[in-house]
């Protein structure tokens, strides 16, 4: 069944009877209603499901543009003209549990395509509204309704509206509409001074299901879980899909106690559910985080953030669990500070307020700067410069390091073009090492010009190498083909072996500054430096000592055989705009 057909599948709805509710033949009042209902585009019908007789109003032939109604005077004849893909959905309308039928009959409202002039004729869309009743044996007995011809454009509009509002997989509200509903609830709570709850639900271990049985099975698990939860919603509560594995539930008129009860109800129904997928029979559990509106969240952002925080804590428990959000002033302050910092970073990137600072790497032999490391600075709107150490960690956690690394590369290459004598090193994150866009930018801006690439050193942290050796090797090989040199930064902080460095074919190791900071007071650090230098020589690697803070340490490192010295002993970093070229 196509997505269009799924979006148009029939659903039972409550509403006022569209015809007289007396079971049996049409009453006088029903007959009089023909004058109101029987317009040029709609026709009333009465269907005896026992005999299958289908009686139409006098205008039915004109509505369907047929000579007479003999071809649609039974349910079987009429159904034979309905598009095959819609027949099953229409049949399901009359399969509701008869023990739970409303006294006034079961309402239905559906849309389908039908070819009233014959199966080979052009079909039309119709909207079919009505009610049906069961007999004493519990089987469907009769139905009454109105069929209205609907323009194709209307159906397409309804389909697009549904797709814009609903998630394809689950049929529930999508993230955008869930957010809109949450905002409306918050406004209502504010006006009425009432409470509501927001639950964030995640299916546990879904990644294992996807990996073991395939994503199609994972999708079936998600659909089944959502269906089970939906069956336990109170009338008026809202369910929507927030992300791939997370669902939001808005609970109206709900305080802390009721929120706990609701969460328990949802966890139980999922726990008791046996899911029969196309691949295997599985069971699932969910973790739930919740927040009370407006007690602990007054905006959509606060509500979502708080519910997700609570969900993260719930997921730390085994199997399943529910955690209600509890304010923590200290963590909230840190979170707000991080959010503010990220906003500043994004603003600075968009407004071009990132700056390069250059720190020299001095040759231990000549005592002159031969390489400059590019250090990033963020210029705030008031002109204050902030070092990368204040924002880079949180930026990497939130996936902004690629944008930062790309901007750094662009500025570094522009500087190399202005100063032909300059050699620069730039740092890249592990995310960037797996980002084809960064390499594409390098190729585009250098045009494979060796005069530029041979003066560029790319620094990769040792921990990045450890995370994914194969990925890093591919990245390094591409850089070497372009003519760049490769340095391993913070060497000694992790567990990368010299064997791995040989496999990567790097050119330089930068010894972690922790081994240099207190070098003259720690003989173990001195022994480590000598060992590192000896090993590097055997592998024909250049060495750089970071954090060199005084002349005594500089002399020791030079005598030990370090090739380059870097640190505040050789001066503070200068802004790239202040660089005037080789002295």
Q: Is residue 336 part of a domain?
A: no
Q: Domain for residue 389, yes or no? A: no
What domain range includes position 498? 353-384+400-578
106/251 same-domain check: no
pLDDT tier, 152 (very low <50, low <70, confident <90, very high otherwise): low
For residue 380, tell me if it sits in a domain. Answer: yes
**Mean pLDDT, residues 551-556:** 94
- Strand 238-243 and strand 196-203: the pairing is unpaired
> What are the tens digits of pLDDT across the range 121-145?
888 889 999 999 988 888 889 999 9
Model pLDDT for residues 208-240, shown as the tens digit of each residue: 888 888 888 888 999 999 999 999 998 878 899
**What's the confidence (pLDDT) of residue 498?**
66
Residues 268 and 307 in one domain: yes
Residues 55 and 125 in one domain: yes
pLDDT band at 2 (very low <50, low <70, confident <90, very high): very low
* 152/178 same-domain check: no
What's residue 359's pLDDT? 94
Task: Please give the angle made by the CA atoms of 375, 379 and 383, to the nearest 5 degrees.
Answer: 135
Report yes or no: 204 and 322 within 8 Å, Cβ to Cβ.
no
Condensed to tens digits (0 to 9), the pLDDT of residues 440-484 reads 999 999 997 889 999 999 998 766 665 567 788 889 999 999 999
* Exposure string over 259-281, b if 16+ CB within 10 A, otherwise e: bbebbeebbebbeebebebeeee
User: How much is the average pLDDT of 15-19?
Assistant: 34
**CATH number of the domain encompassing residue 43:** 3.30.450.20
Q: Residue 97 has what pLDDT? A: 65
Output the pLDDT for position 88: 74
* pLDDT, averaged across the chain: 84
What's the rounded mean pLDDT across residues 396-408? 87
Confidence band for 19, pLDDT divided at 50, 70 and 90: very low
Q: How far apart are CA 422 and CA 574, in angstroms?
A: 14
The pLDDT, as a whole number, for residue 155 is 61
CA distance 280 to 413: 55
Domain identity same for 105 and 181: no
Residue ranges with strand state E in 19-169: 42-48, 53-56, 106-114, 124-134, 140-150
pLDDT at position 253 over 70: yes
Say what percent of the chain tops pLDDT 90. Answer: 48
For the purposes of burial, counting CB atoms within 10 Å of the CB of 133, is it exposed (0-12), middle (13-18) or buried (19 or more)? buried
Residues 429 and 549 in one domain: yes
Position 459 in a domain: yes
- Averaged over 116-123, what is the pLDDT? 81
Mean pLDDT over residues 566-576, rounded? Answer: 91
pLDDT reported for residue 456: 96
Q: Is 292 found in the same domain as 422?
A: no
| Beta-carbon contacts of residue 162 (< 8 Å; ≥ 6 apart) | 7
Domain C-terminal end among 162, 185, 210: 162
Q: Are residues 122 and 201 in the same domain?
A: no
* Range of lowest pLDDT (323-337, 347-361, 451-465, 508-522): 323-337
Q: Quick check: 437 and 425 in contact, CB under 8 A?
A: no
Residue 266 has pLDDT above 50, yes or no: yes
Mark whether 316 and 361 lie in a shared domain: no
Contact 209, 263 (CB under 8 A): no
Whether 482 is in a domain gets the answer: yes
pLDDT band at 554 (very low <50, low <70, confident <90, very high): very high
Give domain status of residue 506, yes or no. yes
What pLDDT score does 507 carry?
92
Instruction: Give yes or no: residues 454 and 566 share one domain.
Output: yes
Token pair listed for 385: 């410069």
Widest CA span of the chain, in angstroms? Answer: 113
| Alpha helices, H only, 483-540 | 498-504, 523-538
Q: Could you give the CA distance from residue 481 to residue 170 in angstroms, rounded to a whole number? A: 48
What is the domain-level CATH number for residue 418? 3.20.20.450
The verdict on 420 and 555 lying in the same domain is yes
> Which of 269-278, 328-337, 493-502, 574-583 is predicted most confidently?
269-278
What per-residue confidence (pLDDT) applies to 565? 96
Whether residue 26 is predicted with pLDDT greater than 60 in this model: the reply is no
pTM: 0.53
Q: Is the model's pLDDT at 146 over the cut of 70?
A: yes
With respect to residue 343, please indicate whether it lies within any of the assigned structural domains: no
Nearest to 491, CA basis, from 469, 514, 468: 514
The CA–CA distances, whole Å, from 378 to 340, 388, 409, 410 equal 14, 7, 15, 15
The rounded distance, in Å, linking the Cα atoms of 406 and 402 is 6
Higher-confidence residue of 30 and 152: namely 152
Alpha-carbon Rg for the chain in angstroms: 35
Which residue among 327, 344, 368 closes a domain?
Answer: 327
Domain membership flag for residue 179: yes
Residue 582: partners with Cβ closer than 8 Å, 6 or more residues away:
421, 422
Cα distance between residue 192 and residue 283, in whole Å:
41
For 170-210, write each residue's pLDDT tens digit.
Answer: 888 888 888 888 888 888 888 888 899 999 999 998 888 88
177 shares a domain with 123? no
Confidence band of 36 (pLDDT split at 50, 70, 90): very low
Percent of the chain with pLDDT over 70: 86
Domain count across the chain: 3
Q: Which of 162, 177, 207 is the C-terminal boundary of a domain?
A: 162
User: What CATH number has the domain bearing residue 223?
Assistant: 3.30.70.270
Query: Is the predicted pLDDT of residue 327 greater than 90, yes or no?
Result: no
């Amino acid at each position: 069944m196509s997505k269009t057909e799924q979006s148009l599948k029939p659903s039972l709805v409550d509403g006022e009877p569209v015809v007289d509710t007396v079971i049996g033949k049409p009453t006088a009042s029903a007959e009089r209603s023909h004058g109101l209902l029987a317009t040029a585009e709609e026709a009333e019908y009465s269907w005896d499901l026992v005999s299958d007789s289908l009686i139409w109003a006098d205008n039915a032939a004109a509505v369907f543009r047929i000579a007479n109604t003999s071809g649609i005077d039974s349910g079987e004849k009429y159904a034979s003209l309905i598009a095959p893909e819609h027949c099953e959905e229409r049949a399901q309308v009359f399969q509701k549990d008869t023990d739970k039928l409303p006294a006034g009959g079961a309402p239905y409202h559906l849309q389908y395509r039908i070819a009233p002039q014959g199966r080979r004729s052009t079909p039309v869309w119709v909207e079919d509204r009505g009610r049906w009743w069961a007999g004493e044996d519990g089987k469907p007995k009769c139905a009454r309704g109105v069929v209205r011809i609907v323009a194709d454009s209307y159906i397409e509009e309804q389909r697009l509206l549904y797709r814009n509002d609903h998630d394809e997989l689950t049929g529930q509200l999508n993230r955008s509409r869930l957010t809109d509903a949450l905002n409306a609830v918050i406004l209502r709570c504010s006006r009425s001074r009432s409470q509501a709850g927001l639950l964030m639900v995640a299916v546990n271990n879904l990644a294992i299901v996807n990996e073991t049985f395939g994503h199609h099975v994972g999708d079936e698990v998600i659909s089944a879980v959502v269906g089970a939860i939906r069956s336990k919603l109170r009338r008026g509560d809202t369910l929507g899909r927030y992300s791939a594995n997370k669902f939001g539930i808005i609970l109206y008129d709900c305080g802390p106690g009721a929120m706990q009860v609701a969460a328990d109800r949802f966890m139980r129904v999922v726990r008791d559910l046996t899911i029969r997928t196309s691949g295997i029979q599985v069971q699932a559990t969910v973790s739930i985080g919740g927040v009370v509106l407006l007690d602990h969240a007054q905006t959509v952002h606060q509500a979502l953030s708080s519910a997700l925080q609570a969900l993260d804590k719930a997921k730390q428990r085994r199997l399943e669990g529910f955690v209600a959000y509890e304010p923590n002033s200290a963590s909230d302050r840190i979170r707000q500070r991080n959010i503010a910092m990220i906003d500043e970073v994004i603003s600075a990137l968009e407004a071009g307020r990132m700056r390069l600072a250059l720190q020299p790497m001095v040759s231990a032999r000549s005592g002159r700067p031969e390489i400059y490391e590019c250090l990033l600075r963020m210029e705030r709107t008031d002109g204050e410069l902030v070092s990368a150490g204040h924002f880079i960690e949180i930026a990497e956690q939130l996936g902004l390091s690629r944008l930062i690394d790309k901007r750094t590369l662009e500025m570094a290459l522009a500087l190399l073009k202005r100063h032909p004598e300059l050699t620069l090193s730039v740092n890249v994150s592990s995310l960037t090492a797996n980002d084809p866009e960064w390499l594409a930018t390098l190729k585009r801006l250098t045009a494979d010009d060796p005069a530029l690439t041979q003066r560029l050193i790319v620094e990769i942290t040792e921990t990045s190498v450890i995370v994914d050796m194969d990925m890093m090797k591919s990245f390094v090989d591409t850089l070497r083909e372009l003519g760049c040199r490769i340095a391993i930064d913070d060497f000694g902080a992790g567990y990368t072996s010299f064997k791995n460095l040989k496999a990567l074919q790097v050119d330089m190791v930068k010894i972690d500054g922790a081994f240099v900071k207190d070098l003259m007071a720690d003989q173990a650090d001195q022994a480590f430096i000598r060992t590192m230098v000896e090993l590097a020589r055997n592998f024909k690697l250049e060495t750089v000592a970071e954090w060199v803070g005084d002349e005594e340490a500089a002399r020791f490192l030079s005598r030990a055989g370090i090739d380059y010295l870097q640190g505040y002993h050789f001066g503070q970093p200068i802004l790239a705009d202040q660089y005037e070229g080789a002295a």
